[in-house]
Amino acid sequence: MGVGPIPYSAMRAYAAEYNIRGRDDFDYFITIIQALDNRFLSYVNSTDKKSEMVPITDVEEQHRLFARLAERAKDSTKKPAK
């Protein structure tokens, strides 16, 4: 079973708590939250992804994950040759 979307009632309660009151502001807020939530759900619920989530108790796998992320960050800072 996968993860589900953020309930509308929760978004409405959050908006009320942080004084997002005008209809345009509220609609904009909901649009952004739903877009982010949809992206998150598509990632979390996909079955063909390479998982970059590891249990907090698996220290060795966490080290490997951080090494992969550091390597990816280093590769992204290299400038292409002209």
**Nearest alpha carbon to residue 30 among 5, 4, 55, 2:** 5
CB 43 within 8 A of CB 49: yes
**The pLDDT value given to residue 66:** 87
Reported as a single tens digit per residue, the pLDDT across 24-38 is 999 999 999 999 999
Amino acid at 59: V
Condensed to tens digits (0 to 9), the pLDDT of residues 18-72 reads 999 999 999 999 999 999 999 988 877 776 555 567 778 889 988 988 888 888 8
Angle between helices 8-17 and 23-44 in degrees, nearest 10: 130
Sorted by where each begins, the domain ranges of the chain are 8-77
Measured distance CA(81)–CA(74) in Å, rounded: 16
